[in-house]
Structure 1
Amino acid sequence: MPGRTGVEFDTDPGRVDLDRLWAFLSEHAYWGRWRSRDDVAAQLATAWRVVGIYEPDSREMIGFARAVSDGVAFAYLADVYVDPAHRGRGLGRALIRVMIDEGPGREFRWMLHTADAHDLYRHFGFQSPDPMVMERPGAKPAGQPGANES
């Protein structure tokens, strides 16, 4: 699906460039470097929804987001990124809009973990948890190498 930003957005998991995804997540993402390539492949294979951003000419994947969901009322947003060479073009906002507002989960309760993109997600209605939310943290502190974040 052509985007308003001069790139293509595609929800086909078969189009995701696992090598590029793995390279970014293992080298640049603070939130899940503990995962192996096989872990990332398994997460991709079992994702409820994925959205990739692709350059129309080269078809190179330059951004990605995935979600897990019960398919009815709840979704968790994970592994959102735009390649650093392509930032500053509004692609992060466009990616989140395609994933959340233009997808089948637009009426769901969405959750995510982030240490550095609060302003981006507030634009889409994310806010601090309400009193009904509880969380059992993973075995390692969030945001640390080896943390159980996705």
Structure 2
Amino acid sequence: MIATTGDYELDDDPARVDRDALWDFMSTKAYWARWRTREQVLRQLDAAWRVVGVYHRDGAMVGFARAISDGVSLAYLADVYVLDEHRGHGLGKALVRAMVEESPGGERLRWLLHTDDAHGLYRQFGFAEPDHTMLERPRQS
């Protein structure tokens, strides 16, 4: 366990991640991931540089985030979510803080992410529109 907040705890132990709960969210609610197969989601989980889960006091996983990184200069924050019924407790902020500010060496990394709906959350942690040095090649169909 890395932190507690009210009735919740954050944990970066990959073995604790509820793979079924993760798949349920990613396959039904995540606008950014519904095209992935279960095998792909689990492969991404297993290959992650770091993961953080949010767990209710009853043991249920109610939030999640993962990062990929070279551990030296670059990290990508992905698959951040908190279940609707558990929002409003600061869990999104706690997740992003745990990933970006509390990852070992995370403060020296250039963090990237894509989001369509949570700009305000990420701006609180220094995320902004990329500068002129950033290019992106979108996923090819």
Q: TM-score, normalised by structure 2?
A: 0.95
Corresponding pairs, count: 139
Superposition pairs of residues 2-21 of structure 1, within 5 angstroms: 2-21=3-22
Gaps of 5+ in 2: none
Contact 1:5 1:90 in 2 (8 A): no
Q: Comparing both chains, which one has the higher relative contact order based on Cα–Cα distances under 8 Å and sequence gaps of 6 or more?
A: 1
Distance 2:108 2:89 in 1: 27
Report what 1:132 is aligned to: 133
Change (3 A) 1:133 1:5: farther
Question: Equivalent pairs: percent with the same residue?
Answer: 58
Gaps of 5+ in 1: 141-150
CA offsets 1:28-57 (integer angstroms, 9 cap, x no match): 01001110000001000000000000113x
User: Any runs of at least 4 consecutive aligned residues in structure 1 with deviations exceeding 4 A, and if so which?
Assistant: none
Report what 1:74 is aligned to: 74
SS at match of 2:4: coil
Report what 2:118 is aligned to: 117
CA RMSD of aligned residues (A): 1.0
State the one-letter code of the partner of 1:90: G
The alpha carbon displacement at 1:107 in A equals 1.9
Report what 1:47 is aligned to: 48
State the one-letter code of the partner of 1:92: G
State the one-letter code of the partner of 2:81: Y
Distance 1:49 1:3 in 2: 18
The alpha carbon displacement at 1:4 in A equals 3.0
SS at match of 1:106: helix
Contact 1:50 1:67 in 2 (8 A): yes
Distance 1:65 1:22 in 2: 13
Q: TM-score, normalised by structure 1?
A: 0.89
SS at match of 1:131: coil
Distance 1:4 1:122 in 2: 21
